[in-house]
A and B are shown apart, each in its own frame.
Chain A
Amino acid sequence: MLKNNFLKGTLQTLILRLLADRGQMYGYQIIKHLSTVTQQQILVKEAALYPALHKLEARGLLESEFREVSGRQRKYYRLSEKGKKVARQEGTELAQFTAAIQQLLRPS
């Protein structure tokens, strides 16, 4: 499992990219998806995911709606128009950043 410090600055971008690819998701689904796709390398702290989602929603990057599922209310998130633009932009920046880090870590 990767250290949480690496995730701190990138969690919001990861959420945006994930929603850009998958359309709409709910909180627990995002946690499970990140853990499965990265083979448990990225384990998002559950108490950190929801504040991140709410921050993105407050910034107008996400839209949400409640739907009744199995007798309870489930909140689904999807990207807003503004969120789609930011997801593209931040996704590219994150890719450039990780490429730069790889360059740095490559043995000379």
Chain B
Amino acid sequence: MQKAQLKIIHNYLNQFDIKYLDLQTELIDHFASAVSHIQEQHPQLTFQEALMQAHQRFGGKAGFRKYLLAAENRVEKKVLKTLGRLGLRLLSWPLVLKALGAVGLAWVVTTYVSSIDVLLASLVILLVGQALYLHWRWRNTPYFLVKRSLSSVGSYFYFLVYLPLSNLYLFSDSSTSSTIHWALATLLLLFMWVAQELPTTLHGLAQKEYPNIDLRWAKSDF
């Protein structure tokens, strides 16, 4: 198959939101094989007509939705697994020192910053800054796994950190509130470390899975 035809398949997949390397590479080969096979059977068909037939056999738009949904579920599981692994790594040497550092830093911060509002505002600014940085740093990633992890981090933050701690904070009394502030700051600092490491780790995983991939596939001007 000619490169120009592969480019047409590449652009066609882009239309259905299949634009990342880890989603697209296998399908480019699938559609190229399918088109070649259809044209062998029906030589009178043009490339475009054969591509349309291959599109129908794949299930059309619904087929792509199914494929994307399955990919999202698979990637989400991988992200959650990696998040858990990174969290557990904080308990192992030498990262346990980093975790203890976060605990110490949180203690210092909560001791010297007496106003919980100032503390929370600072942490929120830090978190927003980190989120913006991560989106900027990985804006051109060719991997869906990495891109998806960035959007997942926000929901994990909400469910794993914000919800439990805000409830804890709400039901704490004055005798336990300083401990709660400390726990809150510690958890946020540790979460920030995990969120920082997550895309890098996933990028490494994706590269391992797609080691010989020619990165031209990821560019629209291929």
With contacts A54-B71, A58-B74, A66-B212 known, is A46 near B29, CB below 8 A?
no
Q: Given the complex, which residues of B lie within 8 Å of A70, measured CB to CB? A: 1, 32
Instruction: Report which B residues bind A (CB closer than 8 A).
Output: 1, 3, 6, 25-30, 32-34, 37, 57-59, 62-64, 66-67, 70-71, 74, 77-78, 210-214, 217
User: Dominant SS at the B interface?
Assistant: helix
Instruction: Pick from A8-16, A25-33, A95-103 the stretch touching chain B.
Output: A25-33
Closest chain B residue to A52, Cβ basis: B70
Q: Which residues of chain A are near B25, meaning CB under 8 Å?
A: 66, 73, 75
CB of A40 to closest CB in B, whole Å:
13
The 8 closest A-B pairs by CB, nearest first: A51-B70, A47-B63, A28-B33, A47-B59, A47-B66, A46-B58, A74-B29, A75-B26
A21 in contact (CB, < 8 A)? no
A69, B29: Cβ atoms closer than 8 Å: yes
Q: Which of A27, A45, A46, A70 has the most CB of B within 10 A?
A: A46
- Please name 19 further chain A to chain B contacts, defined as beta carbons within 8 Å, in addition to the given A46-B59, A46-B63, A58-B78, sorted by A numbering: A27-B26, A28-B29, A28-B33, A29-B33, A45-B59, A46-B34, A46-B58, A47-B62, A47-B63, A47-B67, A51-B67, A58-B77, A66-B211, A68-B212, A70-B32, A71-B1, A72-B29, A73-B212, A75-B25
Q: Is A48 an interface residue (CB 8 A)?
A: yes
Given the interface contacts A47-B63, A48-B66, A66-B212, does A72 sit within 8 Å of B34 by beta carbon? no
- A4 CB to nearest B CB, Å: 11
B167 CB, min distance to chain A CBs, angstroms? 34
Measured between beta carbons, the chain B residues less than 8 angstroms from A71 are 1, 3, 6
Which among A26, A32, A71 has the highest number of chain B CB atoms within 10 Å? A71
A61 and B213 alpha carbons, distance in the complex (Å): 23
**Complex alpha-carbon distance, A43 and B213, angstroms:** 30
Q: Bound complex: CA of A58 vs CA of B57, how far in Å?
A: 26
